[in-house]
């Protein structure tokens, strides 16, 4: 039996090339391929769907306006993430702390949202909110977006060793916050590793494959 | 290997970011260390908790694409493409005519000095070519090339409001502002400044972020300045370091070590560097 006919797959590279020639269909196709991830990371950073929508618009307008200069040193998605994260960081810098978007808040407190109990879910979200925007961005990119250190390094334009050390520090801060919110008996009893504290500004000595 | 030597590798270990050799070292240690095993479990558990902490993002607003499309230059319509094609043909014909006229002019004696085409949006060759001699003179030639006029620091900042940069009166390490300039590179405003410390010169240039820049015969190397990745061109003991965010390329010409004095200087001239928002520089 013949397999169903499939439309030929257009690569990201081809779509970028067509966008560089002003092809609106290619712009739409690139948007369709990437918009969920871009919107998701913006909501996660700003806690507001309205703000995320505005920043997503700005992200794509900037990207398509500057696509002629995109040199493909990194992937288009990485480049787009970089613009989006920078938009979010800029917005966070400009704005004073704002209240949580009601829709986002409601979903956070919904225990059915991901099968976790409400208390734990709120704890993690609240702990993330206490981090600096850049540390929150690193954790979101690593764990929620699944980016590896190289991709995070490309998105945030920081060295890979800095990604490792910042992740160490952000994880450490998260664990401290989570203990503050909801101390567990074993943590009170001091089962934490005695040497796990990372000094401020310390760069992880990472004899890693891609440093 | 002791716990305190292994601990900072445990995050990259869990994230599969270590090379085989380092991974083997950590494996060996962890096999016999209960506390590091506990640490690894904690790191994994935290990762799982963050991963499963949804945000209620919901679906992408259906009107988002229309909003974007309204703000991005539309693709050429078939009619416009026809017009575009005719314009290209006209341009090609005009270019051929110019080449022919120019060729005849050269054959007839010409001016003796032919300027080369400027393929690069920012041509650093006049600066880089001069670094083996008088670096400050070369820097001033670059400023002159882009119609630099001497202004106050605040005027330089106002001249290019769309760029993110600063022209402080003093830079870390005892460098004092000598001169600031308003430049124009193509149709875009740019700025530059000269600093000095006991006769030692530093030049800064801020221009619109444009990729890629052309360094001609000069090779550029990736570099890390503080927490920012950039690239640099070395000419003798001088180095021109570029760190670029979405809007601005921050260039610093100096003989300073990029791991020592340069990070603080870069932070001073790029205080709002977008990728570094919310964190301090070492």
Q: Are residues B224 and B136 in the same domain?
A: yes
Q: Which two tokens stand for residue A15?
A: 């779509």
Of B133 and B82, the structure prediction assigns the larger pLDDT to B133
**Higher-pLDDT residue of B183, A69:** B183
In this predicted structure, the answer to whether residue B114 has a pLDDT above a threshold of 60 is no
Tell me the CATH number at B177. Answer: 3.30.200.100
Last-in-domain residue among B71, B91, B111: B71
Domain assignment present for residue B82? The answer is no
Please tell me whether residues B153 and B59 are part of one structural domain.
Answer: no
Domain check: are B269 and B189 in the same one? yes
Q: A114-211 belongs to which CATH class?
A: mainly alpha
User: Does the predicted model carry a pTM greater than 0.90?
Assistant: no
pLDDT at A161 over 60: yes
Please state which CATH number belongs to domain A11-95. 1.10.1740.10
User: In this model, does residue B34 exceed pLDDT 80?
Assistant: yes
Give the nearest chain A residue to B3 (CA atoms).
A195
List the 1-20 stretch of A: residues with Cβ below 8 A of B: none
- The pLDDT of B4-23, averaged and rounded, is 90
Contact B11/A56, CB-based, under 8 Å?
Answer: no
Verify whether the Cβ–Cβ distance B274 to A89 is below 8 Å: yes
Helices (H) and strands (E) in chain A, counts: 10, 0
Put simply, the chain A residues between 15 and 44 with a CB less than 8 A from any chain B CB are 22-25, 27-28, 31, 35-36, 39-40, 43-44
Domain of B1 in residue numbering reads as 1-71
> Among residues B31, B49, B71, which one ends one of the domains?
B71
- Residue A194 clears pLDDT 60, i.e. is over it: no
Q: Please state which of the ranges B48-52, B137-141, B226-230 shows the lowest mean pLDDT.
A: B226-230
Is B164 in contact with B248 (CB distance < 8 Å)? Answer: yes
- Identify the CA nearest to A41 among candidates A93, A103, A86: A86
| pLDDT for position B182 | 94
What does the pLDDT average to over B66-92? 59
pLDDT value of residue A113: 46
CB-CB neighbours of A33 under 10 Å: 15
* pLDDT tens digit sequence for B56-73: 677 899 899 999 988 886
Q: Cβ contact (<8 Å) for A71 and B36?
A: no
**What is the distance in angstroms between the Cα of A52 and the nearest Cα belonging to chain B?**
9
Mean of per-residue pLDDT scores for chain B: 77
The verdict on residue B167 lying in a domain is yes
Give chain B's domain count.
2
The reply to whether B129 and B64 lie within a common domain is no
Query: Would B186 be classed as within a structural domain?
Result: yes
Determine contact, residues B230/B272, Cβ cutoff 8 Å.
Answer: no
The b/e string for B73-110 (b: 16+ C-beta within 10 A; e otherwise) is eebbeeeeeeeeeeeeeeeeeeeeeeeeeeeeeeeeee
Q: What value does the mean pLDDT take over residues A174-191?
A: 62
User: Does some domain include residue B76?
Assistant: no
Token pair recorded at residue B160 = 């290019």
**Cβ(B89)–Cβ(A55) under 8 Å?**
no
* Residue B161 and residue B265 share a domain: yes
d(Cα B71, Cα A139) in Å, to the nearest integer?
A: 32
Give the residue with greater pLDDT, A125 vs B282: A125
Q: Please state whether beta strands B248-254 and B200-208 pair in parallel, antiparallel, or not at all (unpaired).
A: antiparallel
Q: How far apart are CA B50 and CA A140, in angstroms?
A: 8
Provide the pLDDT confidence category of residue A197 given band limits of 50, 70 and 90: very low
Check whether A23 has a pLDDT greater than 70.
yes
Same domain, B171 and B240: yes
User: What number is the average pLDDT over the span B163-191?
Assistant: 90
Q: Which run of H or E residues covers position A134?
A: helix A133-139
Among B8, B10, B75, the residue with its CB nearest the CB of A23 is B75
Domain range summary for chain A, segments of one domain joined by +: 11-95, 114-211
Residue A130 reports pLDDT greater than 90: no
Task: State whether A204 and B277 contact (CB < 8 Å).
Answer: no
pLDDT exceeds cutoff 50 at A211 = no
CA dihedral B164, B168, B170, B175 (to 10 degrees): 50
Asked if residue B77 belongs to a domain, the reply is no
| pLDDT > 60? residue A96 | no
d(CA B139, CA B126): 8
| CATH number reported for the structural domain that contains residue B67 in this entry | 1.10.10
Give residue B118's pLDDT band: very low, low, confident or very high (50, 70, 90).
Answer: very low
């Amino acid at each position: 039996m013949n397999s169903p006919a499939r439309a030929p797959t257009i690569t990201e590279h081809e779509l970028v090339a067509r966008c560089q020639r002003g092809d609106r269909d290619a712009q739409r196709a690139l948007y369709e391929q990437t918009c969920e991830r871009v919107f998701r990371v913006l909501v996660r950073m700003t806690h507001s769907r309205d703000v995320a929508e505005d920043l997503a618009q700005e992200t794509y307008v900037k990207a398509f306006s500057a696509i002629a200069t995109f040199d493909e040193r990194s992937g288009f998605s990485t480049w787009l993430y970089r613009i989006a994260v920078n938009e979010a960081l800029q917005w966070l810098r400009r704005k004073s702390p704002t209240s949580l978007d009601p829709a986002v808040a409601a979903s956070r407190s919904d225990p059915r949202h991901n099968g976790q109990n409400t208390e734990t879910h709120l704890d993690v979200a609240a702990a993330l909110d206490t981090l600096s925007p850049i540390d929150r961005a690193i954790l979101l990119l690593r764990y929620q977006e699944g980016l590896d250190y190289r991709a995070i390094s490309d998105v945030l334009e920081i060295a890979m060793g800095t990604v490792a050390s910042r992740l160490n520090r952000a994880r450490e801060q998260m664990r401290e916050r989570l203990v503050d919110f909801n101390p567990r008996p074993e943590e009170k009893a001091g089962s934490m590793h005695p040497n796990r504290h990372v000094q401020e500004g310390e760069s992880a000595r990472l004899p890693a494959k891609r440093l | 290997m002791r716990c305190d030597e292994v601990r900072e590798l445990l995050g990259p270990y869990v994230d599969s970011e270590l090379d085989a050799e380092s991974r083997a070292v950590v494996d060996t240690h962890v096999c016999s260390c209960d506390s590091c095993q506990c640490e690894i479990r904690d790191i994994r558990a935290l990762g799982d908790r963050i991963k499963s902490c949804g945000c209620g993002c919901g679906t992408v607003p259906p009107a988002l694409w229309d909003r974007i499309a309204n703000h991005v230059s539309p693709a050429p319509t078939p009619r416009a493409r026809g017009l575009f094609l005719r314009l290209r043909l006209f341009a090609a014909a005009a270019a051929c005519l110019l080449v022919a006229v120019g060729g005849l002019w050269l054959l007839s004696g010409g001016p003796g000095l032919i300027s080369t085409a400027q393929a690069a949006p920012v041509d650093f060759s006049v600066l880089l070519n001069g670094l083996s001699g008088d670096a400050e003179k070369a820097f001033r030639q670059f400023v002159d090339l882009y119609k630099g006029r001497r202004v106050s620091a605040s005027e330089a900042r106002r001249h290019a409001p769309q760029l993110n940069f600063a022209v402080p009166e003093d830079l870390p390490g005892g460098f004092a502002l000598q001169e600031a300039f308003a430049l124009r590179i193509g149709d875009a405003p740019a700025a530059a400044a000269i600093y000095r410390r006991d006769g030692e010169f530093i030049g800064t240039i801020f221009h619109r972020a444009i990729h890629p820049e052309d360094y001609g015969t000069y090779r550029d190397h990736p570099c890390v300045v503080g927490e920012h990745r950039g690239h640099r061109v070395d000419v003798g003991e001088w180095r021109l370091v570029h760190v670029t965010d979405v809007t601005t390329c921050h260039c610093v010409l100096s003989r300073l070590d990029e791991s020592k004095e340069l990070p603080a200087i870069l932070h001073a001239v790029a205080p709002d560097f977008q990728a570094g928002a919310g964190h301090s520089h070492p």
